[in-house]
Amino acid sequence: MTETPTIFGLPAERGRWGLIALGLLINLCLGSIYSWSVFVAPLAAHFTATLGREVAAGEVLLPFSVFLAFFAIAMPLAGKYIERYGPRKVTVAGGLLTGLGWLLASTATSVEALYVVYGVIGGLGVGIAYGAPVAVAARWFPDRRGLAVGLTLLGFGVSAFVTANAAGALIAAYGVMTTFAIFGVVLAAVLVVAALPLRFPPAGWQPAGWSAPAPGTGTAPACECDRRAMLRTGTFYGLFACYFVGCLAGLTAISIAKPVGTEVAGVDAGLATLLVGFFAIFNGAGRPAFGGLADRISPQKTAMLTFGLIAAASVLIWLAPGVPAYVVSFAVLWGCLGGWLAIAPAATASYFGTCDYPRCYGVVFLAYGAGAIAGPQLAGFVRTATGTYLGVFPLVAVLAAVGFAVAWLLMRPPASVPASTPVPVAAGEE
C-alpha cells in the first residue's frame, strides 16, 4: 500500500505547494544573472581605473555570455545526479558553486578573470541547481504539472526586479566588487537553506482523488522513457526544434530591448530602461500562464499559440515601428519566452514521463543554450549588415511560422517507447 506522505507537517496535497514556494525562491536566486546589466558600467569604470586602459562595456558583457553557455552545458550533465543523489544534495552543491562564483568575482583583477570565476564557476553552479526544483515540481504535481513548473520558474523570470534593484543600491553604497562578495554570501546561504526540504514523492504516490488519464492525454505521460529512448522518438526532435525557435525569438528580444526602444521606436533612454523592467513582468508571468494553459489544452496547442503570438508581434513592430507597437510587441515576445520555459519542461514530463526526467529535460534544455547563442548573434548580424535592428523581426516571424508547422507535425505524444534500462531513484530522497 502506498504511504501517505506529509510535507511541512501537512498532507502532501497541501504541503506540496510549499515546495513550489521554495522552488520559486531558489530560482529567484539563480536568476540573479539577469541583473548583470546593472554591473556592466560600474565594472567597465572599475577596470579602466585599475588596469590603466580603456575597458569598453562590450568587454564586460562577455562574462554574461560565458555564464549562460556553462549554464546550458551543466543542465544535461547534472540530470543523472539529481536521480542518483536526490534534489536536495544537488541543489546544495549547485547553490554553493553559484555563491562561490559571485564571491570569487569580487577578487577578479581583470575582465578575463571574470570569465572563469563568474562565468564558468557561477554558470556551472546555476546549471547544476536549476533542474532540481523543476523535477520536484513535476513529480509532486502530476495533476497540474504545467502550472507547478511555471510557478517554480516564475522566480527566475522576475529575479531581475529584486536582484537588479538590490545590486544597484549596493553598488552605490559599497562599490561593485564588494557587491559581488555580498551577493555571493547571501545567495549561497539562501540556496542551501531553501534546498534542505526538497525531496521526491514516494514511488506510486498520486494526489488523493486524482487518477491518471489515459496515456498521452492531458498531463499523463505517453510513455516512460529514459534519455536514450527519448532520443529515438520524433517527438523529441519536434520539441527541441520548437524550444529552440521560442528561445531564439525571446532571447533576441531580451538582448536588443533597449536599443530597439531608443533607435527604432524613438523612446528616451531612461524610459527604455524602465520599459525593460516592465517587459520582465511578462517574462515572469508567462511561465505560470502558459504552463497552466499547457495543462488545459495540451503542450502542442500551447506551443502553436505562442508561435502565432510571436509571429504577430514581430510583424507588428516591423510594419509599425512606433512606441505603441514596441511596447506591445516586446511584452508579447518576453511573455512567450517565459511561456516556453514552462511549456518545454511540462511537455518533457507529459510526453516522456518522469522516471528519468532530469536527464531527459537536461537534453531538451540544450535548445535554450542554442537559442541564447543564435538569437543575439542574429540580431548583431542584421544590425551590422543593415544599420538597424528592424530587419530582425521579419526573420523571427518566418522562424515562428516554421515553429508552428513543426509543432503541428511533430510535437505530439509519441508511441510507447520503453526505457532502455531501469533508472535508479535517489535513496532516502524519494
Please tell me the predicted confidence (pLDDT) of residue 198: 96
Distance between CA atoms of residues 337 and 204, nearest Å: 33
User: For residues 4 and 209, is the Cβ–Cβ distance under 8 A?
Assistant: no
User: For residues 98 and 187, is the Cβ–Cβ distance under 8 A?
Assistant: yes
Please tell me the predicted confidence (pLDDT) of residue 65: 77
- The more confidently predicted of residues 348 and 3 is 348
C-alpha cell belonging to residue 289: 500562464
Angle at 425 between CA 422 and CA 429, to 5 degrees: 175
Region 139-148: mean pLDDT is 87
User: Nearest Cα to 262, choosing from 249, 250, 275, 252?
Assistant: 275
- Domains of the chain from N-terminus onward: 13-195 (1.20.1250.20), 227-410 (1.20.1250.20)
Q: Is the pLDDT of residue 185 over 90?
A: yes
**How far lies 346's CA from each of 10, 92, 150, 295, in Å?**
26, 24, 9, 8
Region 210-225: mean pLDDT is 60
Distance between CA atoms of residues 280 and 344, nearest Å: 19
**What number of CA atoms fall less than 13 Å from residue 274's CA on the CB side?**
5
Distance between CA atoms of residues 394 and 317, nearest Å: 9
Distance between CA atoms of residues 226 and 319, nearest Å: 46
Q: Is the pLDDT of residue 157 over 90?
A: no
Please tell me the predicted confidence (pLDDT) of residue 428: 43
Phi, psi of 6 (to 5 degrees): -120, 150
Please tell me the predicted confidence (pLDDT) of residue 40: 76
pLDDT digits (tens, 9 = 90+) for 360-394: 888 898 898 888 778 877 887 888 788 888 999 99
pLDDT bracket for residue 328 (50, 70, 90): very high
Q: Is the pLDDT of residue 424 over 80?
A: no
Please tell me the predicted confidence (pLDDT) of residue 212: 65
Please tell me the predicted confidence (pLDDT) of residue 72: 84
Please tell me the predicted confidence (pLDDT) of residue 377: 77
Distance between CA atoms of residues 251 and 240, nearest Å: 16
Please tell me the predicted confidence (pLDDT) of residue 348: 92
C-alpha cell belonging to residue 101: 562564483
* pLDDT-wise least confident of 245-249, 332-336, 338-342, 425-429: 425-429
Distance between CA atoms of residues 74 and 127, nearest Å: 5
- The more confidently predicted of residues 99 and 150 is 99
pTM of the model: 0.75
